[in-house]
Amino acid sequence: MRDNRKPASIHARLLLTTLIPLTLLSLVLGWYIITSQRTVLLNNLQDTGRVAVHQMASNAEFALFSGNQAMLETLGYSVLDIPSVSGIIFHNELDKSTVRIGDVKLSTQLISGSFDSGLPFFIDHHWYFFAPITINDIPIMDYDEVGQPEAESLGWVIIELTDKILLQEQREAIFGALIVTTMSLLIAAWLSMRIGRSISRPVESLTETVELMEAGGLDSLAAENGPMEIRKLAYGINQLATSVRESNVHMQSEIARATVQLQITLIELEEAMEAQDQFLARMSHELRTPLTAVIGFSKLLATEEDPAKRQEHLRIIDSSSTMLLTMIDDILEFSKAHLGGFTLEKINFDMDQWFTDLVAIHRPRADEKNLSLTCNIADDVPRQLSGDPVRLAQIFSNLVSNAIKFTDSGFVSVDIKRQTSDGDHVVLDCAVTDSGKGIAADKIALLFDPFAQEDTSINRRFGGTGLGLSICKRLAQTMGGDVKIESEIGKGTVVSFTCRLFEVNTLSPLEDDQAVLAEQVLAGLSILLAEDNPFNQKLIVKLLRGYGADCLVANNGLEAIEIAGDLHVDVVLMDIHMPVVDGVTACETIMQQSGESPPIIGLTADITPMEQQRMLTAGAVSVQSKPVDEVSLVNSILSSLNDMNEISPNSGGGLLASVIPVEELKEALYENLDKLDLQLRSGENSSQRQIIHDLMGLCGLYGMTELREQVLEFRAAYGALDTEENIKKVQRIREHVEGYLVPDSC
């Protein structure tokens, strides 16, 4: 069980582990100092007493022998000048008299014969020092006689020393030791608290940050300060939080994308089921009606003998067969359009001849209903065009046929005008106008849905599958245009559509007529390049501007998201590996920002299919691998915009090889190699992956296949090699750059 009384914080533990040993050490040192000083003071006191008593015994010999008490008192008072001496006792053995000088506490009865041992004795805070007083008898005789004179005892002297001064000095010593010890402990405590706070405060800050992250605040970052170990820990926590945040963003994007995709799939499934039911019901009725007529009148034809009636039966059989064939053709065309199977041809044709043939097909039906069928081609429409005349005729035939079908009296007119032109491109504005019954405004939008008609009685009166307008719309969109309907009940209908064709220059060979000028192929387009490498930015932007495009640059995925959300861009070129937000996440976010998000083309130096599939799954229309093929890149941009133009290797391209001077390319390669070499030598590997990615991108963009293979080999092996081997590999790459990038080779 955890002991709650135990200090839990690092600060408290550091304080205790510092102060407890220091306190014990201070106490021991204080005790030692006080004890040593007391011993010294006591020894000094005893030395003073011994010296004083022996001097007094020597000086008092004559006074005691002569019984001169006044001299004894004079000697005694002279000794009392010593601060510690409080009294003196002289004892005369001759007359058994005692002389006391000063405040002597010792009683004569307490004096015993053991006092003459020469050792001081202590009684009631006083020290007593004893010394005998003797006189030597000097015989009058020749000096050559053997023997020493005998000493005669005259008495003794005792000096009393008080320990008050000793105790006072001892108290002062203790007080000084306490002050020194206390100051030392306070200074030690202050230093310990400062050191402890320098460690505990960053740890507490890290703890608070981790608690915030645990509560979901992954945007909070730990302050990278304090000791080196704590800075490394804070850096690791921040990296972990960033990874978790990016994973959460990616997971939320995946969940949102999967949810939207699931909802779309469910809606499409419901619509498909409903369309299937409608299709089966409609086709069951529509196909059975003419087929029943064919079968029934075929049986009547076999038994009918009247030539007039047989001719009538044959006419009905022919009409029903034609109707049945038309329905089957519509179904096949719709199936092809639904699966994206329309393939447009690029054929030169004469506009006047094509239009004359188209009108001739429908004029008999208009004449049968006494309708005025008028046609007009504006003078500014080129007469020599290139495109798919069959698909264009299919759109016109369907619209003119519908106009004649639903107009009982009045007119049907066909008008073709030139809307815009851009170089060799011509956008035609075509309209079919009739004076029929008109269409309700709330029904117009439904007419482009498969199997849809204005009301259910139309197919009974006029027949048809309701697929014609749906097929026309998809054909027009494939040709770079669209279809719209304007109508008013009782006043007629105008069905118009636009399409993009090519003008044929009759003064030049056919190959030159079909070529697209490279300088104009991307004119008017705003392209956002999301690329973190400045050199790659410069290269691709200059390339795209060479084809006429306007370019915006984002240094990371987050900037790309913000620019795509705030500004109008036609196409986004997205590098997959970028800081802050990677290309896959940025692609998903841009696709979810609005329903009209620009098409996104991925750029990657990674050739693995998995990496490219991640980008396609995120919503990219295509992925261009590095080395970038400029023709493929430009054609991919045009294709993403449903632009029928395309360039060929001989159509004025070849800009990539001259976009960036060789010296600038070498400088960029050397800069990345220097960074990689420095990282390897310092043991830091935080950005090695990014540097290698930048090297691969540079090699790829410029088409340096052999150099790129060396970088790929280094990327695959550098984690398993030691520092020296990796540095050698970098040096070999540098030597290859020096040998490869010479001016003549670029």
pLDDT for residue 509: 40
User: Residue 65 above 50 pLDDT?
Assistant: yes
Answer whether residue 302 is part of any domain. no
Q: What is the pLDDT of residue 746?
A: 33
pLDDT value at residue 649: 57
How far is residue 506 from each of residues 98, 113, 349, 386, 519, measured CA to CA in Å?
160, 156, 12, 12, 22
Instruction: Look at residue 572 and tell me whether its pLDDT is greater than 90.
Output: yes
Residues 37, 81 within the same domain: yes
Query: What confidence category does residue 64 fall into, taking pLDDT thresholds of 50, 70 and 90?
Result: confident
- pLDDT of residue 277 exceeding 70: no
Kindly state whether residues 546 and 439 are assigned to the same domain. no
Average pLDDT over residues 638-661: 61
The 3-state DSSP class for residue 381 equals: coil
- What is the percent of the chain with per-residue pLDDT over 70, rounded to a whole number? 74
Q: Is 540 within 8 Å of 552 (Cβ atoms)?
A: no
Amino acid at 75: L
pLDDT band at 497 (very low <50, low <70, confident <90, very high): very high
Checking if the pLDDT of 719 tops 70, the result is: no
> Do 556 and 503 fall into the same domain?
no
Per-residue confidence at 356, pLDDT binned at 50, 70, 90?
Answer: confident
The pLDDT of residue 540 is above 80 = yes
Task: Collapse the DSSP code of 282 into the 3-class scheme (helix H, G, I; strand E, B; otherwise coil) and give the result.
Answer: helix
Distance CA 735, CA 612 (A): 32
Q: Which of 524, 610, 522, 611 is nearest to 574 (CA)?
A: 611
Give the mean model confidence (pLDDT) for residues 152-156. 80
Q: What is the pLDDT of residue 663?
A: 66
In this predicted structure, what is the pLDDT of residue 33? 79
Three-state SS across 193-232? HHHHHHHHHHHHHHHHHHHHHHCCCCCCCCCCCCCHHHHH
The domain total for the chain is 4
Q: Let me know if residue 540 belongs to a domain.
A: yes
Is the domain of 418 the same as that of 489? yes
Q: Which residue has the higher pLDDT, 202 or 129?
A: 129
Neighbours of 250 (CB within 10 A): 16
Based on the domain organization, do 477 and 529 belong to the same domain? no
> What does the alpha-carbon distance between residue 722 and residue 594 come to, in Å, rounded to a whole number?
50
Q: Which pLDDT value is given to residue 450?
A: 58
In 3D space, the residue among 50, 52, 56, 84 whose CA is nearest the CA of residue 72 turns out to be: 56
d(CA 330, CA 467): 6
Q: Which residues pair with residue 375 across a beta bridge?
A: 414
* Strand 97-102 relative to strand 151-162, pairing: unpaired
Q: How far is CA 178 from the centre of its chain?
A: 60
Q: What is the per-residue pLDDT across 400-417, written as a single tens digit (0 to 9) for each?
A: 888 888 888 899 999 999
For position 30, which CATH number holds?
3.30.450
Q: How many CB atoms lie within 10 A of CB 59?
A: 18
Q: What's the number of CA atoms in the CB half-sphere (13 Å) around residue 441?
A: 1
3-class secondary-structure state, position 675: helix
Do residues 736 and 613 share a domain? no
pLDDT surpassing 80 at residue 100: yes
CA-to-CA distance for 482 and 472, rounded, in angstroms?
Answer: 9
**205 domain-assigned:** no
Q: What is the pLDDT of residue 653?
A: 41
For residue 648, is it within any domain? no
Last-in-domain residue among 479, 494, 513 = 513
Helix (H, G, I), strand (E, B) or coil at 428: strand
pLDDT over threshold 50, residue 510: no
Q: 493 and 435, same structural domain?
A: yes
Q: Are residues 368 and 502 in the same domain?
A: yes
Give φ, ψ of 127 to 5 degrees.
-105, 140
User: In terms of pLDDT, which residue wins out, 299 or 449?
Assistant: 299
436 exposed, middle or buried (CB, 10 Å; 0-12, 13-18, 19+)?
A: buried
Distance, CA of 556 to chain centre: 10
250, pLDDT greater than 70:
yes
Tokens read off for 608:
């693995």
Q: Can you give the pLDDT at residue 335?
A: 57
Task: Give the three-state DSSP class for 580.
Answer: coil
Residue 694 near residue 683 (C-beta atoms within 8 A): no
Instruction: Judge whether residue 655 has pLDDT over 60.
Output: no
Please answer whether residues 241 and 206 qualify as being in contact, where contact means their C-beta atoms are separated by less than 8 angstroms: no
pLDDT tens readout for residues 451-491: 555 444 444 444 455 566 777 888 888 888 888 899 888 88
| Continuous segment of H or E residues that includes residue 529 | strand 526-530
In a domain, 310, yes or no: no
Domain annotation covers residue 311:
no
- Give the contacts of 361 (CB within 8 A, at least 6 positions apart): 397
Answer yes or no: is pLDDT of 284 > 80.
Answer: no
Domain boundary among 137, 154, 170: 170
219 in a structural domain = no
CB 545 within 8 A of CB 588: no
3-state secondary structure of 601: strand
- Domain check: are 463 and 602 in the same one? no
Domain boundary among 108, 136, 170: 170
Most confident of 82-86, 355-359, 642-646, 705-709: 82-86
Q: CA–CA separation, 403 vs 397, rounded Å?
A: 10
Are the CB atoms for 238 and 265 separated by under 8 Å? no
Spatial contact of 493 and 403, defined as CB atoms under 8 Å apart: yes
* Tens of pLDDT, residues 120-131: 877 777 888 888
483 and 547 housed in the same domain: no
| Beta-strand pair 526-530/550-554 | parallel
pLDDT at 732 over 50: yes
What pLDDT is recorded for position 554? 93
Work out the mean pLDDT of the chain and round it to a whole number: 76
1 pLDDT band, cuts 50/70/90, is very low
Q: Give me the pLDDT at residue 698, please.
A: 66
Tell me, yes or no, whether 633 and 537 share the same domain: yes
**174-188, 388-402, 456-470, 582-596: least confidently modelled range:** 456-470
d(CA 187, CA 9): 22
pLDDT of residue 140: 46
Rounded CA gap, 571 and 574, in Å? 10
Going by pLDDT thresholds of 50, 70 and 90, the confidence category of residue 308 is confident
Q: Where are the alpha helices (DSSP H) in 623-687?
A: 630-640, 656-659, 662-682
Q: Which two tokens stand for residue 239?
A: 């990296």
Q: Percentage of the chain with pLDDT > 90? A: 6
CA distance 51 to 464: 147
Q: Can you say whether residue 521 is alpha, beta or left, with left for phi > 0 and alpha for psi between -120 and 50 degrees? A: alpha
Q: What is the pLDDT of residues 607-624, one digit of tens each?
A: 567 777 888 888 899 988
Residues in the chain: 746
pLDDT-derived band at 10 (thresholds 50, 70, 90) equals low
**379 shares its domain with 476:** yes
In this predicted structure, what is the pLDDT of residue 429? 92
Cβ-based neighbours of 28, under 8 Å, separated by 6 or more: none
Residue range 345-365: mean pLDDT, rounded? 79
Q: Please check whether residue 428 lies inside any domain of the structure.
A: yes
6: helix, strand or coil: coil
Which of 552-556, 611-615, 694-698, 731-735 shows the highest mean pLDDT? 552-556
- Model confidence at 654, pLDDT cuts 50, 70, 90, reads very low
The 10 Å CB-count burial string (b at 16+, else e) for 561-593 is: bebbeeeebbbbbbbbbbebbbbbbbbbbbbee
C-beta separation of 427 from 500 below 8 A = yes
Cβ-contact 87, 104 below 8 angstroms: yes
Least confident of 146-155, 579-588, 594-603: 146-155
Measured between alpha carbons, how far apart are the two ends of the chain, in Å? 76
**β-strands 372-377, 411-422 pairing:** parallel
Please determine, for residue 113, whether its predicted confidence score (pLDDT) is greater than 60.
no
The larger pLDDT score, comparing residue 708 to residue 439, is at 439
The token pair that represents 684 in the structure block: 């830091």
> What range does the domain containing 673 cover?
662-745
Q: How confident is residue 84, by pLDDT bands cut at 50, 70 and 90?
A: confident
The set of residues, in sequence order, having a beta carbon less than 8 Å from that of 698 and lying 6+ positions away, is 533, 535, 536, 665, 668, 669, 672
Q: What's the rounded Cα separation, in Å, for the pair 387 and 502?
A: 7
Checking if the pLDDT of 585 tops 80, the result is yes
Least confident of 420-429, 462-471, 656-665: 656-665
Residue 125 backbone phi and psi in degrees, to 5: 65, 20
* Type and span of the H or E element at 157: strand 151-162
The three-point CA angle 415-418-419 to 5° equals 110
Distance CA 391, CA 376 (A): 20
| pLDDT score recorded for residue 600 | 93
Q: Are 137 and 148 in contact (CB under 8 A)?
A: no
CATH of the domain at 528: 3.40.50.2300
Of 84, 158, 153, whose CA–CA distance to 115 is shortest? 158
Q: Which two tokens stand for residue 157?
A: 């002297």
Tokens coding 738: 């020096």
What pLDDT score does 745 carry?
38
Burial class (CB in 10 A: 0-12, 13-18, 19+), 205: middle
Q: What is the CATH number of the domain that holds 401?
A: 3.30.565.10
Query: Measured on CA atoms in the order 307, 308, 311, 317, is the torsion positive or negative?
Result: negative
Reading the block at residue 388, the tokens are: 């798919």
Q: DSSP states of 531-559 as a string?
A: -S-HHHHHHHHHHHHHTT-EEEEESSHHH
